[in-house]
């Protein structure tokens, strides 16, 4: 009877309990690319890493910013980030701390925010930092 229940009730293996599995606490998660994790980094204007945060693949990018901003380093004058970090609450928090958000708006945003594209070009230093670390 137990084999019948396990095969036909749910298409997943029997875990012995009905809670979530332990992968979420280890920063693994499902995303469009599969079972992955994301690395979020904070670096200075020279492209030197100051801190890292690891999250699951299903976690939005802007959720990791609290941990990155609590690092014991001086606050920057501007925050350069990609579209994944675009949220009104994150922009407000940056402005409260005196940090200029240089983040392009998401494609589906109803009221797009203005972006300083000249300053945003310096984000390639972040990409080069990740390439050096690889």
Which sequence spans correspond to the domains of the chain?
23-133
Residues 6+ apart with CB under 8 A from 50: 41, 42, 43, 44, 71, 73
Mean pLDDT of 49-55: 89
Whether the per-residue pLDDT at 125 is higher than 70: the answer is yes
pLDDT score recorded for residue 33: 66
Cβ–Cβ < 8 Å for 29, 58? yes
Cβ–Cβ < 8 Å for 79, 103? yes
Please state, in angstroms and rounded to a whole number, the distance separating the CA atoms of residues 104 and 83: 5
Distances (CA, A) of 97 to 49, 78, 104: 21, 11, 19
> HSE (CB half, 13 Å, CA atoms) of 9?
9
Q: CA torsion sign, 68 to 54 to 133 to 120?
A: negative
pTM of the model: 0.68
Q: Which long-range contacts (CB under 8 A, 24 or more apart) does 99-104 make?
A: 99/75, 102/78, 103/79
Tokens 């029997």 belong to 14
pLDDT in tens, 67-115: 888 888 888 899 999 898 898 988 999 999 899 999 999 988 888 889 9
Count of residues in the chain: 134
Angular region, 16: left φ>0, alpha ψ -120 to 50, beta rest: left
Average pLDDT value for the chain: 80
């Amino acid at each position: 009877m137990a084999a019948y229940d396990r095969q036909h009730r749910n298409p997943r293996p029997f875990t012995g309990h009905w809670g979530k599995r332990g992968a979420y606490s280890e920063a693994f998660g499902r995303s469009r690319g599969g079972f992955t994790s994301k690395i979020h980094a904070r670096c200075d204007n020279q492209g030197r890493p100051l801190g890292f945060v690891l999250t699951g693949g299903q976690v939005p990018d802007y959720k990791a910013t609290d941990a990155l901003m609590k690092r014991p380093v001086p606050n920057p004058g501007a925050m350069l980030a990609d579209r994944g970090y675009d949220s009104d609450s994150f922009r407000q928090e940056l402005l409260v701390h005196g940090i200029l958000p240089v983040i392009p708006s998401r494609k589906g945003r109803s009221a797009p925010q203005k972006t300083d594209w000249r300053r945003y070009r310096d984000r390639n230093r972040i990409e080069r930092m990740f390439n050096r670390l690889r």
